[in-house]
Chains A and B, each alone.
Chain A
Amino acid sequence: MSSLWPLIQNETIKIVKRKRFYVILLVLLVLVPMFTYAQMKSAERSRDKFNSDWRLELQQRITDNESSLSSDRIPDEWKRYRMIFIQQMRYYLEHDVNPNEPNGVTFTREFMNNSISLFIPLMIMAIASDIVSGERTTGTIKMLLTRPVKRWKVLLSKLVALLMFISLIVVSAYIIAYLVSGLAFGYAGFNLPIFTGFTIVGSEVDMSTVQAVPQWKYLLMQGGLVWYVGVCVGMLAFMVSVLVRSTAASIVIMMAALIAGNILTNMASAWNSAKYLFMVNLNLTDYLAGNLPPIEGMTLNFSLIVLAVWAALAILVSFSVFTRRDILN
């Protein structure tokens, strides 16, 4: 009967007029300069120490990590992590490439690597968490659902609007990070070679599949993964928003899940079945950079599938609950 387009238009207007998106942009505009400044300070310090010779600096870091390997006080997992790090740094050194050359593009890449599991999901939650529960808290859900429109269409329009804003958030994060950090580090660096394709076998890194890609290409691949994580987290927040009436509760539930994920990533390597939890699979960009996964047996494909299954279940639950539920208040 009625088409979906005007409904999506409605949802978009509501998100914009609620000024949530502006808040997100504002948060980015405040935080990114802070990170940029911190990065600038650390770059200055290493420049003083190593006389702007990045090879010296990298060599120093390799030696530092190597010496810590012989210490008994360091847990085995950390040792594995450091061994892998050492091998990668050596690879960069051998190929005469500075992995941390300070420029706007490198900063953006590092910033997004660190944002994927908590910061970006958090901003997505700012919109997703009250997209349905907000209507219930204010009572406007009654107005919305007494129209001659099927409930699944109402929900679908909200889902589509959310997907649009997730994409917008990811793109804005990239643009703001690049523009702001460029002021400090310069806007160059798109063609810098970045190595990817490290395969980790036990504590060894298999270099046979490593290839150098220009940083812009790396950024695109990374962006795709960030978007994928954003969409999956968005779907879960959407489901919680359908299930819980209060927006505050909805935000707390998702926050708890995300933070639990961050904690588990750091300590759950012994609990093998934890790898099926969505929140330990959020660091997709680590696979790209060749970092050690939090739990053995996790690969990029594994994480992509786990996230997809969670997201699909979330959508299924959202729609079946929303279309059937009695709106009592």
Chain B
Amino acid sequence: MNGKSSEVVLSVEHVKKKIGRKWIIHDVTFDVRAGEIFGFLGPNGAGKTTTIRMLVDLIKPTSGMIKVSGYDVNRQQEQALRYVGSIVENPEMYSFLTGWENLEHFARMQKGVDQARITEVVDLVGMNRRIHDKVSTYSLGMRQRLGIAQALLGRPKLLILDEPTNGLDPKGIKEMRQFIQRLAAEGLAVFVSSHLLSEIQLLCDRVAIISSGRILAVGEVEELISGSSDLVIWDLQPAAKGKQILEQLEACQVVEHPEEELDDGILAGMSSDAIVTRMQEHATSRTVERLVREGIEIRAVHRINPTLEQLFLQMTEGENIE
């Protein structure tokens, strides 16, 4: 959204981490600017949480430097962490306290956060009704909101959210997404980790893709993800004949086992005799023409995203060629 002129809020330079004898993170470098939503995409176990823990000084990097607003997170915690609000993994709050008492607890650990500010963040996350109940009675969605409230307490410049939609229902996910976008529009830098490609696509401006502790790519979401898709779903009638024709075409390969290539969300919405092909964008219109000429009824054609695994495959292949 914002151009490169925006202030760099978080800068991660050549960060490495060794735990025991094993290197968990190999040389991670990226910047996050004010007003942008930065995605951190990778499968579970890729080192996302370890990296996030380093961003908030829960883990010290073996080498490299992490700066927030110019302050070294590991050496000047008190200055750097003033500008950071975070939820690392689950928003674990004190379950024997009420939501309000939790917020008061964290407000005391920071200067300039008074009762009025607590009321403000409670309003912001829409928790007025239940804020004086014990956290042990909260649903996961409410805990998540309380987690965000505590992260926003200190008026941070950088918000770090680890899998923020984990465990939420579809409505909750949508609300969360809109909420994050509103915060970013107000100038906050938001760092979001996820293992879901679709979520990053819907939410983020830029993305870093991480796998086995290595950054595979950093860039605009459009460039990295959306452009790389070559999968097309066809809903044809009669399906068997349509498939035959598609198989004959050179520009188009039929995928025999779509369940291996597609996300569950897409598979669930597909009709049982839909055909999945792999083809370049420019070949689509010629293919449609051919099918129509053969008298096939075309009910739907749409291009879809590859899974994360495929994206990785493409990226690592690309590296090899270079």
Contact = CB atoms under 8 A, between A and B. Distances in A.
Contacts of A148: 77-82, 109-110, 154
A17 interface: yes
A146 interface: yes
A6 B108 contact: yes
Interface residues of B, number: 34
Contacts of A146: 56-58, 81, 84, 86, 88
Among A13, A14, A147, max chain B CB count under 10 A is at A147
Interface stretch (B91-99, B268-276, B298-306): B91-99
A326 B49 CA distance: 13
Contacts of A1: 78, 111
Given A143-B93, A148-B81, A149-B78, A10 B60 contact: no
A147 B109 contact: yes
Contacts of B56: 146
B46 to A, nearest CB: 16
Contacts of B57: 145-146
Most chain B beta-carbon contacts within 10 A, residue among A139, A140, A143, A150: A143
Contacts of A9: 108
Contacts of B77: 148-151
Q: Give the one of B19, B88, B91, B105 with max A CB within 10 A.
A: B105
Q: Which of B56, B86, B94, B106 has the most CB of A within 10 A?
A: B94
Contacts, number: 86
A14 B104 CA distance: 12
A327 interface: yes
B16 to A, nearest CB: 14
Contacts of B94: 14, 17, 138, 140
Interface residues of A, number: 28
Contacts of A7: 108-109
A67 interface: no
B175 interface: no
Interface string B45-74: 000000001001111100000000000000
A327 B108 CA distance: 22
Given A142-B88, A145-B57, A147-B109, A17 B101 contact: yes
Most chain B Cβ neighbours within 10 Å, of A18, A146, A149, A328: A146
Contacts of A150: 77-78
B223 interface: no
A14 B101 CA distance: 10
Given A18-B96, A143-B150, A10 B59 contact: no
A188 B223 CA distance: 87
B90 interface: yes
A147 B110 contact: yes
A2 interface: yes
A2 B88 contact: no
Interface of A: 1-2, 6-7, 9-10, 13-14, 17-19, 138-140, 142-151, 324, 326-328
Given A140-B94, A327-B53, 11 more contacts: A2-B109, A17-B94, A17-B101, A139-B90, A139-B92, A147-B106, A147-B109, A148-B81, A148-B110, A326-B19, A326-B59
In the A-B complex, the 7 residue pairs with the smallest Cβ-Cβ separation, listed nearest first, are A139-B92, A6-B108, A147-B109, A148-B81, A327-B58, A148-B82, A326-B59
Interface of B: 19, 53, 56-60, 77-82, 84, 86, 88-97, 101, 105-106, 108-111, 150, 154
30 contacts: A6-B108, A7-B108, A7-B109, A9-B108, A10-B105, A10-B108, A14-B105, A17-B94, A17-B97, A140-B92, A140-B93, A140-B94, A143-B92, A143-B150, A144-B109, A145-B57, A146-B84, A146-B86, A146-B88, A147-B109, A148-B77, A148-B80, A148-B109, A149-B109, A150-B77, A151-B77, A326-B59, A327-B58, A327-B59, A328-B53
